[in-house]
């Protein structure tokens, strides 16, 4: 695969797993997964912003050609369904079709 694949500092096990799953499923030309959990500290009673509960996925893939934004988001959410069921609280998605 070509392109940028990065997950920023302190890549944890969930970020690594998502990176692997999304790479295998969508063969992205660009993929960035960012842990934004620290931005949500205090939003829930007792939540200190630690861990990997909120992520942002920026992805560009040829697999998204012909899809609208809702369909791209559905495809990504489906790929991440196990992690969402296991406690991943939120995914912000920035998806584009590769030209």
- Provide the pLDDT for residue 52: 66
**Is 1's pLDDT higher than 60?**
no
Average pLDDT (34-42) is 66
Q: Report the C-alpha gap between 67 and 83 in whole angstroms.
A: 23
- Provide the pLDDT for residue 3: 41
**Is 48's pLDDT higher than 70?**
no
- Provide the pLDDT for residue 78: 97
Domain ranges of the chain: 5-97
- Provide the pLDDT for residue 43: 55
Q: Which helix (H) or strand (E) holds 35?
A: strand 30-35
Q: Report the C-alpha gap between 21 and 94 in whole angstroms.
A: 17
Average pLDDT (30-48) is 67
Q: Report the C-alpha gap between 45 and 32 in whole angstroms.
A: 29
Q: Is 83 exposed, middle or buried (0-12, 13-18, 19+ CB in 10 A)?
A: middle
Q: Report the C-alpha gap between 50 and 6 in whole angstroms.
A: 20
Cβ atoms within 10 Å, residue 72:
20
**Is 6's pLDDT higher than 50?**
no
Q: What is the pLDDT of residues 58-89, one digit of tens each?
A: 999 999 999 999 999 999 999 999 999 988 88
For domain 5-97, the question of CATH label 3.30.300.90 is answered with: yes
């Amino acid at each position: 695969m070509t392109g940028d694949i990065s997950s920023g500092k302190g890549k944890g096990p969930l970020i690594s797993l998502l990176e692997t799953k999304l790479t295998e499923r969508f063969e992205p030309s660009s993929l960035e997964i960012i842990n934004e959990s620290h931005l949500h500290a205090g939003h829930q009673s007792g939540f200190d912003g630690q861990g990997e509960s909120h992520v942002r996925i920026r992805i560009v893939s040829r697999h998204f050609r012909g899809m609208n934004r809702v369909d791209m988001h559905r495809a990504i959410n489906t790929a991440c369904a196990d992690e969402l069921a296991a406690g991943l609280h939120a995914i912000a998605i920035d998806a584009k079709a590769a030209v």
